[in-house]
Structure 1
Amino acid sequence: VPKLLVRLTIGLLLSFWGSSLTPRLLAQTPFRPDPTTLVGALQQHYDQVRDFAADFIHVYEGGALRMKATEKGTVLIKKPGKMRWHYNTPEDKLFVFDGRTIYAYFRDEAQVTVSPMPRGDEVGSAILLLTGRGDLVRDFRPEYVELPDLASDSYALRLEPIVPAPDYTSLILVVGRSNLMLHQLISTDRQGGTSTFQFSNLEENLGIADSHFSFTIPADVEVIRHDGVSQ
């Protein structure tokens, strides 16, 4: 998967840390709630999530290059703005967001890219949600969508940004009916490519230490800087 594409997709991921109906009441409702009610409940839930950890499978297909790639790894996320994405299959690469700077470490290529964290006014509402300033109800038009193999204990919700986003045209969230945990995130980019993240073993509010989000540039690697710091 191209490096820029990986970075843009990761920018979407932590967007979704988030009515009158609580998650418990939603689980007890025999019919699915209207999309706006579900989005409100999601926002309420994700507002209470301070951090989470999960395994993931990332599949990208289509786009300008007409490619398909499948990768696997683990992720740690902590508000506000801290992330650690470790891809371990088929190649080893690491993305660390420390709240101010993004480090992308491509171990096999002995290369590190350093970029500033985008400011909220520079990006679409996905990143604004990541920083805690966005709102699923305010920033998206929600509708249910039918997906093949959708589990009976899940909701699939398509979100169209009200203000066009630079990185994607739409998002699909697949969440658990009983706990509103994120099972899957599907984004469609402006080249027609689809990026799907499937999560497993997801755990919330673990008290993840800040030390997981620090990064020291290894010796003897090529460093490409986009943060205005001279090498």
Structure 2
Amino acid sequence: MRRIAALAFAALVAVAVPLVSTDSAAQAGAQALPAAKANEVATKVQAFYDRTTSFASDFTQEFFVKSHNVKKTSKGTVTFAKPGKMYWDYSNPAGNRVVSDGTILKVYEAANKQMFEQTVNKSQYPAALSFLVGGGKLTEVFNFELYDGAAMGFPGGQVLVGTPKQPTPAYQKVLFYVDSQTAQVRRVLIVDGQGNRNRFDFENPRVNVPVNDDMFKFTPPAGTQLIKP
């Protein structure tokens, strides 16, 4: 179970920062903006994705493992569709996939010819991304602080720093980097209790594009070892 959750989480949704009030914001000396402004920005973000039926993008992922001081970089494309569907297609590592039809989550590792499979409702499905696929409301999951993007190395935007209202082993902080003009999330950074960081930058995003449901029905190559909890 922990192995599946870790793989799915790493494949989904990264900088070494102490778990203080705002991670890199504290290092930069940034000051949190008024709470009312944080709620306003969170509401705009939610409204944008409530109007979105599908989302496709190129992505770059940086996954930092603090205990080993190792950073891994991956690239690929991702497609989300409501309700709860997603397809992560990795070009590096080539052939890796993370697929969900909204019910079953499948994590395929091409190099090892293994696929980890479990139901979404039993996985540590990251609330950090659930709003993209019609999941829970951000303000119901997180308490937010807001920082000016320029102070966080994100000019032209703002950064929502979320602390989960209910403790979870999956993460202690989630940072949403929001484009000020569109209220679209262009980067998600997740920090867990061990100080590991998982960062996704979404590039060339396309919203409400036609999506074929067949892409969310992944069958691994013959000879793949299937692992279930």
Worse overlay, 135-144 or 50-59? 135-144
More moved, 69-78 vs 96-105: 96-105
SS in 1 for 2:41: helix
TM-score by length of 1: 0.78
CA positional deviation for 1:198: 0.6
Choose which of 60, 64, 67 in structure 1 pairs with 2:67.
64
Task: Choose from 173, 184, 189 the match for 2:187.
Answer: 184
Partner of 2:197: 194
1:150 and 2:154 correspond: yes
CA displacement 1:112-134 (0-9 Å, x = unmatched): 222221259x8675476466452
- 2:143 is aligned to 141
Who is 1:168 aligned against? Answer: 171
- The answer as to whether partners of 1:124 and 1:166 remain within 8 angstroms in 2 is no
**Could you tell me whether the CA contact under 8 Å between 2:60 and 2:200 is conserved in 1?**
yes
The code of the aligned residue for 1:186 comes to L
Q: Relative to structure 1, is the Cα distance of residues 217 and 123 closer, same or farther in structure 2, using a 3 angstrom cutoff?
A: closer
TM-fit CA distance, 1:64: 2.9
Equivalent of 2:215 in 212, 222, 229: 212
> Normalised by the size of structure 2, how large is the TM-score?
0.79
Change (3 A) 1:97 1:39: same
Distance 1:119 1:79 in 2: 19
Q: What is the aligned partner in structure 2 of residue 82 from structure 1? A: 85
The share of aligned pairs that are identical, in percent, is: 26
Q: CA deviation at 1:220?
A: 1.7
In structure 2, the CA distance between the partners of 1:135 and 1:193, relative to structure 1 (3 Å rule), is: same
Secondary structure of residue in 2 paired with 1:49: coil
Matched, 1:8 2:9: yes
Over 3 Å counting, the alpha-carbon distance change for 1:125 and 1:57 in structure 2 is closer
Q: Match of 1:15?
A: none
Cα pair 2:84 2:130 within 8 Å, conserved: no
Indicate if the aligned counterparts of 2:46 and 2:131 stay in contact, CA closer than 8 A: no
SS, match of residue 49 in structure 2: helix
- Which deviates the most, 124-133 or 161-170? 124-133
Shift of 1:141: 1.4
**Paired letter, 2:138:** L
Q: What CA distance in whole angstroms lies between the structure 2 residues aligned with 1:167 and 1:36?
A: 24
Q: Tell me which residue corresponds to 2:21.
A: none
Equivalent residue letter for 1:160: T
Task: Check the 8 A contact 1:125/1:134 in 2, yes or no.
Answer: yes
- Written as runs of structure 1 = structure 2, the 5 A alignment for 1:19-168 is 34-118=37-121, 125-126=127-128, 129=131, 132=134, 134-145=136-147, 147-151=151-155, 153-168=156-171
Q: In the aligned structure 1, how far is the partner of 2:114 from the partner of 2:127?
A: 30
Residue 80 of structure 1 and its aligned partner are, at CA, apart by 0.9
1:205, CA displacement in angstroms?
A: 0.6
Native 8 Å contact 2:62 2:74 kept in 1: yes
CA separation of 1:82 and 1:128: change in aligned 2, threshold 3 A: closer
Distance 1:216 1:133 in 2: 25
Cα distance, 1:205–1:86 mapped onto 2, change above 3 Å: same
